[in-house]
Chains A and B, each alone.
Chain A
């Protein structure tokens, strides 16, 4: 079973702080690692993604750090804002066009 393990299940961060969500995978055949953001009542939407040939990707306040040897990757949200409060999913992509998702992290940013 190609799994993606995500932690923590929930996270509370103060406004302006750094939010960090971690994922670990088993299958080295994954070729693409996206992060999705989901607001209540909405479908998940792609936030940021990385391929395994780079160690870091940054888009605005969002950064993916990727450690290929450890088979781990993480999402960092800098200067976290109340509007970042959402559920975040990491995933691994196969060449056969399927995604395996982590179980999700509910992030709450408090003032």
Chain B
């Protein structure tokens, strides 16, 4: 998984509790992403980061926040988890020098975190 780890790998929590998911990379890639995967929806971008402390929203960012204080770590926080946030969450990284080569445009995905909100 291209030097990407996600923790925890599985989590069950209750509605209203805060949850933080962690993505750690050893590739020193500039870009990091958080996606959620749900049946019938494919992969949808939640937030992404284009550098330390530089983040932006994706298409499904409501209810989520992110932080990136170091190149290697990207945190996704659900401030108050809801049942609609039950999903599989994937972190991805890319070198992000668009157009230079295909490899630099490629996003590499972590193993995922399965989150269940009861």
Residues of A within 8 A of B (CB): 6, 9, 31-32, 34, 36, 41-46, 49, 51, 89, 93, 95-99, 101-104
Q: A31-B99, A43-B110, A43-B111 are in contact. Are A93 and B45 (CB under 8 A)?
A: no
By the criterion CB–CB under 8 Å, are A43 and B106 in contact? no
Q: A49-B102, A97-B94 are in contact. Are A89 and B109 (CB under 8 A)?
A: no
By the criterion CB–CB under 8 Å, are B102 and A89 in contact? no
Complexed CA–CA distance, A101 and B112 (Å):
17
Please give the distance in Å from B9's CB to the nearest CB on chain A: 10
Q: Which residues of A contact B96 (CB under 8 A)?
A: 97
Contact of B43 among A32, A42, A89, A97 (CB under 8 A): A89
Please, which residue of chain A has its CB at the minimum distance from the CB of B96? A97
Known interface pairs A9-B40, A46-B107, A103-B41; 9 further A-B residue pairs with C-beta atoms within 8 A, sorted by A's residue number: A31-B98, A32-B102, A32-B105, A34-B107, A45-B108, A95-B98, A96-B98, A97-B48, A101-B42
Complexed CA–CA distance, A43 and B106 (Å):
14
Q: Count of chain B residues with Cβ under 8 Å from any Cβ of A?
A: 27
* B62 close to chain A: CB less than 8 A: no
Q: Which residues of A contact B98 (CB under 8 A)?
A: 31, 93, 95-97
18 A–B contacts from the bound complex (CB under 8 Å): A6-B42, A9-B40, A31-B98, A36-B109, A41-B112, A42-B111, A43-B1, A43-B4, A43-B110, A43-B111, A44-B90, A45-B109, A93-B98, A96-B98, A97-B31, A98-B45, A99-B43, A99-B107
